[in-house]
Structures are given as C-alpha cells and as structure tokens.
Amino acid sequence: MALNSIQQNIKRNEKDFSEFGLWMGGLDVSSKNIDQFDPLRVGYARIFFVRLPRFMEKLDADATKRFKHLVEMGFTRFDGINDASLEFEDIQGGYVNNKFQVPSVATDQTDSITIAVQEFSGSPVREFVDTWMTGITDPLTGLSHYHGAISDECPFKASNHTAELIFVSTDPTGNEIEYCAMFCNMMPKSVKKSHFNFESGSHPAVSVDLEFTATKYESPQINTIGAALLNKYKILRDYLNFNSGYQPSDIAAMEDYNLRSF
C-alpha cells in the first residue's frame, strides 16, 4: 500500500531497494543496479503567478502581464523555502530531575521569499513593484489608496493587493515534478533602488531581488495544479526543435548579392 504523502500526484520513488547494496561491499553500477542509482538533482525550477494584485490589473493590465512574464520567464534565483521541524517539550521529574522529550508541534518557518530577476531599461520590474507597494500604503501620507483604483468593485482589502504563485521543482527532464508548493499572501517588502548609486567606471547590468511576504502550503491537490501549469506552459526542451523564424519563401524574396567571381 502506497503512502498517503506529500509526493502524491508527482514523482515518487517506489522501487525495491532491498537487493541494492549502494556503497556497501563495493560500488556495483552494472545494469541490474544502475536503475536504482538515481540521485535527486535540483536546479530545474519554474514559477507561475496564479494571482496578481487586482488593483494593479485595474490600473494597468498590460503592465501586470509584462511583470508576470518577466518574473516567470526571467527569474534567476528563488530563495526562502525553509525546513519543517518538530518541536519538543521536556518532561522532568525524580530526585535527579531526569527528563525525556515529547513532541509538541510541527512548524515551518517560511514567512518570506526572494525572487531574483533581471531588470531592463526603463525599470519595468521596479515600476510595477513600487506602484504595488505604495498603493497599499503611501510612503508620504501613510494612507491606502491603490493610486485611485479603490472602488465598489475593487475595495481596499487583502485579496485585492496580494499575489499567489505556484513553485515547481522538476527532475532534469523538466517534465516530472520533484517538489511543488503554493505561496499565498504575497506583498512586496521593499523596492530596490540602491543600484542607482554611482561609482566611477562601474556600469553593471542590474539584477534585483524581489522580497515578498509569503505563507507556504503543500498538498497533493497543489501538486496536481503544479503539474497542470507545467503542462500548459511548456518551454523548448530539445534544441533540434528551435525555429529560426524564417521560411524558405523569405529567403527567395531576399535581394540577391552581387558576388564577384575570382
């Protein structure tokens, strides 16, 4: 009977390792064992915004789509996933105050995430995050105004100024999910501007760290959503399928070169 676990609906390992000696007795990676030796490899990740702040969509739907695409397709780092841990309480007694531990609560300390993304000329990433953050609370007046987007259809409330995303980590094929999580109640914690400080002779390309508040959820149902997103938003996997964008008819229509014979 398979475990009812967090790996349901994504990749799970149910192989029989009982006759596989790993390193004990010497390494044996002959054909009868090599299929058992499939180490977990990470570094293949996708993120999908499933919700962006509603007031930003009302202010500028195009800017919202642009931000979504730039972050989803251009992120270079995703940080903030913390380990789950089990906390304990001590039970003590006797003349020497001996003790033993009993379980208390299981906790996950994930409360923020950081996404690194390349910034572009015109600062489309910073512009979006700055408008998002200052619409929630104005840095000068302290008031919440959504930059004029507050209305009966879009009142000031958390669901109108928070985002949600699905994080997916796959195996090297890019098809099988190793880990999936949903991050909710996302709001920007800062707007990066320090890269505009000046130093003579320094002209670096800018990558910005987007730090968000976040509450993490994991479940088999979220795994299913992650798999559906991965299947819907496929990316190029085989370089042989790369399309140059040109057609033979385009070549035929090109102006001929005046080649000199030698």
pLDDT digits (tens, 9 = 90+) for 22-51: 888 788 888 878 878 888 889 999 999 999
DSSP conformation class of 260: P
In angstroms, the CA 161 to CA 49 distance is 14
Longest dimension (CA), the chain: 106
Domain with 189 in it: 46-81+106-160+183-217
Distance CA 162, CA 185 (A): 5
> And the tokens for 13?
């390992």
> 245-254, pLDDT tens digit by residue?
999 888 888 8
In a domain, 240, yes or no: no
pTM of the complete model beyond 0.95: no
Residue 192 lies in a domain: yes
C-alpha span between 113 and 92 (Å, rounded): 39
- For the chain, the domain total comes to 1
In contact, 114 and 189? CB cutoff 8 Å: no
The pLDDT value recorded for residue 101 is 94
Q: Does a structural domain hold residue 258?
A: no
For position 144, what pLDDT does the model report?
97
121, part of any domain: yes
On whether residue 229 sits in a domain, the answer given is no
Place 214 in a pLDDT band, splitting at 50, 70 and 90. Answer: very high
Q: Report DSSP letters for 158-216, one per residue.
A: HHHH-EEEEEEEE-TTSSSEEEEEEEEEE-B-----GGG---TT--PPPEEEEEEE-EE
Is residue 198 situated within a structural domain?
yes
Nearest to 48 by CA among 214, 141, 181, 149: 181
pLDDT at 256 over 70: yes
In a domain? residue 32 = no
* pLDDT at position 258: 63
Cα gap 58→221, rounded to integer Å? 30
233 occurs within a structural domain: no
Q: Residue 260 above 70 pLDDT?
A: no
